Amino acid sequence: MRRLSTADPGFEAAFSELLDAPREDAARVDAAVAEIISVVRAGGDRALLDLTARFDGHAPETAEALRVQPAEIDAAVAGVAPDLLASLDLAAARIERFHAAQMPRDLALPDPAGLTLGMRWTALDAVGLYVPGGKAAYPSSVLMNAIPARVAGVRRVAMCVPTPGGVLNPLVLAAARRAGVDEVWRVGGAQAIAALAWGTESIAPVDRIVGPGNAYVAEAKRQVFGRVGIDSIAGPSEVVVLADAANDPRHVALDLLAQAEHDEAAQAILITDAPAFADAAASAVEDSLRGLARRAIAGESWRRHGAVVVVRDWDEAAALTDRLAPEHLQVMVADPAALFARVRHAGAAFLGRWCPEALGDYTAGPNHVLPTGRTARFASGLSVFDMLKRTTWVEASEAGLAAIGPAAVALAEAEGLGAHAASVSARLR
């Protein structure tokens, strides 16, 4: 854990180092992924069966067996504790409500020149959802990825999830059902991305692929980008907590550790204006670590990437936060909305002392799929906007064409595009 203070002469160098320190080795898997995609394009279902046997250690015999059957989902849901299903329902209902409120309106703009200009939003036809398997198979992520598609009106939501050894998490299936996923395929890795992008005999191709994954999945998404849409490439997670001395240091410590426990590459940063509170929080982190089941992971993350930064004032804190552009931002000061208004770059913000980021991971309502690794400078969390596209339109009358046509002709001629010019001038009297 780094301890920094903006009052120290070496601060800028140390903070820059914190900003630029790589947290993950970028595995070079380009060639392996290109090979897998090419094998799936050529071999279809047969290739999926072979690759699944090879990578996931279970060997379905037919393509039909790659699909999780409705009866299997029924059985899985029946085995989930009712209070857990109720929690899933509460989360799903709140996520639905928030994403429904995001839905944008169409635009129709009458124009003084006699035209009407517009913009229309329509849903994608089909979306593929990648869900990681093994330790990172999170039912909450199924809700967060599938519900925006359903709310936006996507007709078909297909989910791929690797099942190492053939085992599936029942709560993941319950979440898929609750979120309205249409198809669940036990296929993972780059082969799942290839199947969703290009289609096989069994799996129809989709128009966009969302959801996190390992280095192979990320590279596969990069390689199929253009054929289909993708969401941003997920990197290691991070939180910045802005907290004053009026907070309980134990709460802040748990908030930092909730980020750190995700994986060793996660990053948790506390920024405070109170040196004594910085000490108390750092000490509370050590105390809380001892009681955590995931203390090995969280401890490693905190030691390698954690930081406590003491600032002279909250303007400094806002400026540092913008340089970090964190995925998650907690604002725990007397007037959190005012401080949040001074920050430009963050994926999601949690305002006040009663709003730990973990609420947002599960039940608050906004999406927890968020831009990581400083990409909140330009990227946004998953939303209905990822499941929609826009068509702009123009309607022109003869008078409208007469008003703006001659300028179009002049510009087309200047660009040397004679048919463009002629298509307008032929209609002008």
Q: Which residues from 33-62 bind its own copies, rule CB under 8 A?
A: none
Name which position in 212, 214, 405, 429 contacts its own copies (CB under 8 A).
Answer: 405
Told to judge if 328 belongs to the known catalytic residues of this protein, a careful annotator would answer yes
Residue 297 or 309: the one with the smaller Cβ distance to its own copies is 297
Beta bridge partners of 330: 241, 350
CB of 8 to its own copies, least distance (A): 26
Is residue 88 within 8 Å of residue 362, measured between CB atoms? Answer: no
- 31-58 in b/e form (b: 16+ CB < 10 A) is eebeebbebbeeebbebbbebbeebbee
Judge whether 262 is annotated as a binding position.
yes
The three state secondary structure string of 114-180 is: CEEEEEEEEECCEEEEECCCHHHCCHHHHHHHHHHHHHHCCCEEEEECCCHHHCCCHHHHHHHHHHC
Count interface residues toward its own copies (CB under 8 A).
Answer: 122
Give yes or no for residue 414 binding its own copies (CB under 8 A): yes
Told to judge if 286 belongs to the known catalytic residues of this protein, a careful annotator would answer no
Place of tokens 């309502």: 365
Q: Which of 99, 328, 357, 368 is catalytic?
A: 328
Q: Cβ contacts of residue 65 below 8 Å, gap of 6+?
A: none
Judge whether 425 is annotated as a binding position.
no
Which of 239, 254, 389 lies closest to 324 in space, CA to CA? Answer: 239
CB of 193 to its own copies, least distance (A): 15
Residue 237 burial by Cβ neighbours in a 10 Å radius (0-12, 13-18, 19+): buried
CB of 396 to its own copies, least distance (A): 4
Enumerate residues 102-121 that contact its own copies by CB under 8 A.
Answer: 102, 104, 107, 109, 111, 113, 115, 117, 119
What type of residue sits at position 5? S
Angle at which helices 314-324 and 11-20 cross, to 10°: 30
Enumerate residues 281-320 that contact its own copies by CB under 8 A.
Answer: 288, 291-294, 298
Give yes or no for residue 124 binding its own copies (CB under 8 A): yes
What backbone phi and psi angles, to 5 degrees, belong to 127?
Answer: -125, 140
- Annotate each residue in 314-343 with x if it binds its own copies (CB under 8 A) or - if it does not, as one string: ----------------------xx--x---
Is residue 218 within 8 Å of residue 250, measured between CB atoms? Answer: no
- CA-to-CA distance for 419 and 143, rounded, in angstroms? 50
Enumerate residues 341-400 that contact its own copies by CB under 8 A.
Answer: 344-352, 354-367, 371, 375-381, 383, 385, 389-398, 400
CB of 398 to its own copies, least distance (A): 5
Q: Which of 327, 368, 395, 413 is catalytic?
A: 327
- CA-to-CA distance for 257 and 429, rounded, in angstroms? 72
The dihedral through the CA atoms of 200, 203, 204, 208 has a sign that is negative
Residue 207 or 273: the one with the smaller Cβ distance to its own copies is 207
Q: With CB under 8 A as the contact rule, which of the stretches 56-64, 178-186, 194-202, 418-426 interacts with its own copies?
A: 418-426
Enumerate residues 184-223 that contact its own copies by CB under 8 A.
Answer: 207-208, 222
Catalytic residues: 327-328
Binding-site entries: 130, 191, 214, 237, 259, 262, 328, 361, 415, 420
Binding-site entries for NAD(+): 130, 191, 214
